């Protein structure tokens, strides 16, 4: 894989981007459909063990994939998220999520129950270890 400079925008095949999240909120996806234009979609990624992993923008990524796009604009995320993103990536892979096509679209209630609870529990446990 090509190493890129922080801040540079480049194209990646959507199917090659590893999610760091497990679910897509149906209501968030519907809202994106009201404003999204493909050229405006840019996804922050980090490089973890040779994989580009999305740190945010999973719903936008899903929208692009569902709209039939094969590539999406990405940039290297310069925020220091790498301390927990590898854990989320590993957990996603354990759950069979290797790209955005593997991410189920769920109701907002299920999203809050499953994803928000997972994140809350993870960060609560991480803070207890500090």
Q: In what order do the strands lie in the sheet with 9-13?
A: 9-13, 71-76, 42-48, 51-54, 17-18
Residue 3 inside a domain? The answer is: no
Side-chain half-sphere CA neighbours of 84 within 13 A: 13
Instruction: Go through 14-28 and write b for each residue having 16 or more CB atoms within 10 A of its CB, e for each that does not.
Output: beebbbbbbbbbbeb
Residue 112 inside a domain? The answer is: yes
Mean pLDDT, residues 20-37 taken together: 86
Residue 1 inside a domain? The answer is: no
* Residue range 42-71, pLDDT digits in tens: 999 999 989 999 999 999 999 999 989 999
Q: In whole angstroms, give the CA distance from residue 42 to residue 16.
A: 15
Residue 89 inside a domain? The answer is: yes
Residue 78 inside a domain? The answer is: yes
Indicate yes or no: pTM above 0.85: yes
What's the number of domains the chain is made of?
1
* Residue range 71-110, pLDDT digits in tens: 999 999 887 555 889 999 999 999 999 999 999 999 999 9
At residue 35, does pLDDT exceed 90?
A: no
Residue 4 inside a domain? The answer is: no
Residue 50 inside a domain? The answer is: yes
Domain residue limits at 56:
9-129
CATH code, domain carrying 92: 3.90.1530
Residue 17 inside a domain? The answer is: yes
């Amino acid at each position: 894989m090509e190493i890129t400079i922080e801040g540079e925008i480049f194209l990646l095949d959507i199917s090659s981007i590893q999610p760091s999240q497990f679910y897509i909120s149906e209501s968030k996806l519907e809202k994106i459909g009201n404003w999204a234009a493909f050229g405006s979609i840019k996804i922050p990624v980090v490089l973890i063990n040779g994989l580009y992993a999305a740190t945010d923008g999973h719903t936008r990524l899903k929208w692009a994939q569902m709209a039939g796009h094969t590539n999406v604009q990405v940039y290297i995320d310069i925020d220091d998220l790498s301390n927990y993103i590898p854990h989320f990536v590993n957990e996603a892979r354990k759950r069979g999520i290797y790209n955005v096509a593997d991410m189920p679209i769920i109701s907002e209630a299920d999203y809050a129950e499953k994803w928000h609870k997972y994140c809350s529990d993870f960060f609560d446990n991480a803070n207890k270890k500090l």
